Chain A
Amino acid sequence: MNIVVLVKQVPDSGGDRRLTADGTTDRSGGNVLNEMDEYAVEEALRLQAAHGGTVTLLTMGPETAVEALRKALAMGPDAAVHVIDDALPGSCAVATSKVLAAALRTLDADLVIAGAESTDGRVQVMPHMLAERLGIAALTGARKVTVDGSALTIERQTDGGYEVVTAATPAVVSVWDTINDPRYPSFKGIMAAKKKPVRRLSLADLGIAPGEVGVAGASSEVLAHDRRPARSAGATVADEGAGGVRLVEYLTAEKFV
């Protein structure tokens, strides 16, 4: 089974994240591998161990995105594909899905695995956008994935429990962080990752015109953005035996009780 894992380099969510003057994500600061992607990579490696085949990473991003690829490769995937082009920065989700779908068509994947969301956009639309373009199934929000031949079954987390969802491969699956515990890359893995093949694809390689992507081709635009005023701290009391009562007094004054 050939598995492609979608990975993304994102601004560190623990840091101070900003938009640039043109309203696109500022990627000049501390960047990390999107955390949820580690769970997607781990799931791919487990399926590979059980069913054979290859695990290939796919990302779209600037030059620095290769750092995220190497980090994920250190966990054990075989190879990576990096879609990189000067026209891509500022691409909207619709354009991104067009580019990733075109790259996926060259990769002949039985299964595409993604994290349930990226920590920068948190838009959660990519699996269904790709499925729509490729005419294959999207099974999202998995907390468990089972493969039996060409039959794919997931437990899909819902608000009240879970749904069992089935499809035939090829398919796109997204996973939550409840699905597994990602392995830590070993020293050997980190060294090996440096030598693993990272194939670069340009828009020309994918047959996509520069005007269809980036800021120029974006289907939406940011008109204005501003730092949200920080919430100011209110009163804090130390519990000296009546903390619970004081709390309820506050809630009563605010008409919650």
Chain B
Amino acid sequence: MAEVLVVAEASAAAGVKKVTLEMLTAARTIGSPSVVVFGDEPFADKLGEHGAERVYLAGAADIDDFLVAPKATVLADLIRRVRPAAVLLASTQEGKEIAGRLAVKLDSGLLTDAVAVAPDGTATQAVFAGQVIVTARVRRGVPLITLRPNSLTPSPAPATPVVEPLAVAVTDADRLARVTERVVERKGARPELTEASIVVSGGRGVGSADSFALVEELADLLGGAVGASRAAVDSGFYPHQFQVGQTGKTVSPQLYVALGISGAIQHRAGMQTSKTIVAVNKDPEAPIFELADFGVVGDLFKVVPQAADEIRKRA
């Protein structure tokens, strides 16, 4: 069976991200999955649980201090050597950027934001705010496909991967954009927004940065991530990296809770593919109710604290 490369999203701090296991699950339907890990730890056990036959380990030296260019060079060399049937990457900013560089280096077709990948390498994409579903295929080169996190349920398929260290030979052109400092502004136990199975988001109706504590409280009680609408971000209530929708993140959790969010199409662009959507808004005409599986028309400052109390009671 042809080899399929999965570019891992994994780090010493975060471990193997769920999207990596989703990619492995999809890759198994196409061929024999190999995972490329950038870093010093191969995560062989975890990746093996989900069917990785091989792990290529590319050490962090010469890669970590630069933006994506060195990773693309290492991957391009590997792809030229093993000629995989397809390459899967996560549909994160970095995953897409690496894929973009690979597409140029290899003159290969690129399909981003896939929500499903078929055994023949065709991909399903949700475009235009999730309003249009597209089936597409690559016509030239190695299919490069980025998979949107939370698109499928990872399933285990035990294997014992062979770990193969990769020689990292990057060029001067890969060392042009140097990362000189990494600053953590916000750290916590909450899951990452695009990976989370539950997302609780606040909008303009939350009213202030202080009141976002209410959104955070409900998120923590549900074990979810916190998101924000653009209106809330533009009003300075919450930082931009948590923005859901156009010009922000696209999420696809099992449960999306929209608090004080009207549901403009630009917001729906980022959450429309959520499995279950719940909304609280005081305006019964708010468009968010058109796509909510359950809605409460009411004052979120009354409804949310009551809901929080009720969850604590049931815990």
Asked whether, in the complex, the Cβ of B103 is within 8 Å of the Cβ of A221, the reply is no
CB–CB A244/B289 < 8 A: no
Say how far B29's CB is from chain A's closest CB, in angstroms. Answer: 18
Q: Does A141 contact B (CB under 8 A)?
A: yes
Which residues of B sit under 8 angstroms from A131, Cβ to Cβ? 69, 101, 176
Interface residues of chain B: helix, strand, loop or mixed (majority)? mixed
Q: Which of A52-60, A190-198, A246-254 contacts B (4 or more CB under 8 A)?
A: A246-254
**B residues in contact with A120, CB < 8 Å:** 128
Which partner residue on chain A sits nearest B192 by CB separation? A159
Query: Given A125-B97, A234-B293, A243 and B104 touching (CB < 8 A)?
Result: no
B279-313 Cβ-contact flags toward A at 8 Å (1 or 0):
01000100001111111111100111111111100
Chain A residue with Cβ nearest B103: A94
CB-contact partner of B296 in A35, A122, A237, under 8 A: A237
Which parts of A228-257 form the interface with B (CB within 8 Å)? 228, 230-231, 233-239, 242-248, 250-252, 254, 256-257
CB pair B136 A243 closer than 8 Å: no
Taking a contact as CB atoms under 8 Å apart, the answer to whether B134 and A17 are in contact is: no
Q: Does B74 interact with chain A (Cβ within 8 Å)?
A: no
Q: Is the CB of B180 within 8 A of A165?
A: yes
Residue of A at shortest CB range from B307? A244
B298:A13 contact, CB within 8 angstroms: no
Report the bound CA distance from A92 to B104 in whole Å.
12
Chain A residues with CB under 8 Å of B137's CB are 220-221, 223
Q: Which residue of B lies closest to A135 (CB)?
A: B173
Q: Verify if A49 is at the interface (C-beta below 8 Å from B).
A: no
A23 proximal to B (CB < 8 A): yes
For the complex, is A143 an interface residue (Cβ under 8 Å from B)?
yes
Interface residues of A, CB < 8 Å — how many? Answer: 88
Q: Which of B109, B126, B240 contacts A94 (CB 8 A)?
A: B109
- Of A17, A127, A161, A251, the residue contacting B131 (CB under 8 A) is A17
Instruction: Name the residue on A nearest B182 (C-beta).
Output: A163
A237 contacts B295, CB within 8 Å? yes
Report how far A233 CA is from B269 CA in the complex, Å: 17
- The complex places the Cα of A224 from the Cα of B173 at a distance, in Å, of 39
With A94-B104, A228-B126, A250-B294 as contacts: A14 and B265 at CB distance below 8 Å:
yes
Residue of A nearest to B178 (CB): A166
> B72, B176, B183, B280: which contacts A162 (Cβ < 8 A)?
B183
Which residues of chain B come closer than 8 Å to A119, judged between CB atoms? 246-247
**Residue A138 at the chain B interface, CB threshold 8 Å:** yes
Q: Is the CB of A137 within 8 A of B185?
A: no
- Is B181 in contact with chain A by the CB < 8 A criterion? yes
Q: Assess whether B185 is in contact with A160, with CB atoms less than 8 Å apart.
A: yes
- Whether A222 contacts B68 by the Cβ 8 Å rule is no
- How many contacts between A and B, using CB within 8 angstroms? 285
Q: Are A257 and B314 in contact (CB under 8 A)?
A: yes
Complex interface: chain B residues within 8 A of A94 (CB): 103-104, 107-110
Q: B89-128 interface mask toward A, CB cutoff 8 Å, 1 = contact, 0 = none?
A: 0000100110111011101111111000000001000111
Verify if B135 is at the interface (C-beta below 8 Å from A): yes
- Cβ-defined contact, A248 with B311, below 8 A: yes
CB within 8 Å for A176 and B247 given contacts A164-B183, A218-B139: yes
The reply to whether the CB of A126 lies closer than 8 angstroms to some CB of chain B is yes
User: CB-CB < 8 A to B96: which residues of A?
Assistant: 123-125
A53 and B67 alpha carbons, distance in the complex (Å) = 28
Report yes or no: B311 in contact with A227, Cβ–Cβ below 8 A.
no
- Chain B CB within 10 Å, residue with most, of A129, A218, A219: A219
* Nearest neighbor of B128 in chain A, beta-carbon distance: A17
Contacts known (A178-B240, A247-B296, A254-B276); A164 close to B180, Cβ less than 8 A = yes
Contact of A220 among B138, B177, B264 (CB under 8 A): B138
- Across the interface, name the chain B residue whose C-beta is closest to A161: B185
Cross-interface CB contact of A13 among B93, B135, B266, B302, cutoff 8 Å: B266
With A94-B110, A177-B247, A256-B222 already in contact, the answer to whether A219 and B103 are too (CB < 8 A) is yes
B residues with CB within 8 A of A? 67-69, 72, 93, 96-97, 99-101, 103-105, 107-113, 122, 126-141, 173, 176-187, 192-193, 198, 222, 233, 240-241, 246-247, 250, 254-255, 264-266, 269, 272, 276-278, 280, 284, 289-299, 302-311, 314
A-B contact pairs, 28 of them (CB 8 A): A11-B128, A13-B246, A13-B266, A14-B265, A16-B131, A36-B247, A94-B103, A94-B108, A97-B100, A125-B110, A127-B97, A128-B72, A129-B100, A140-B67, A159-B193, A164-B179, A164-B180, A165-B179, A166-B180, A219-B107, A219-B141, A239-B302, A243-B280, A243-B298, A247-B307, A247-B310, A248-B311, A250-B294
The 7 A-B pairs at the shortest CB distance, nearest first, are namely A239-B298, A244-B306, A125-B100, A219-B109, A137-B176, A161-B185, A244-B307
Extra A-B contacts (9), CB below 8 Å, given A125-B99, A132-B101: A16-B131, A125-B97, A128-B72, A221-B136, A225-B134, A227-B132, A236-B289, A237-B296, A247-B280
Interface residues in chain A, defined as those with a beta carbon under 8 Å from any beta carbon in chain B: 11, 13-14, 16-19, 23, 35-36, 92-94, 97, 116-117, 119-129, 131-133, 135-141, 143, 156-168, 171, 176-178, 218-228, 230-231, 233-239, 242-248, 250-252, 254, 256-257
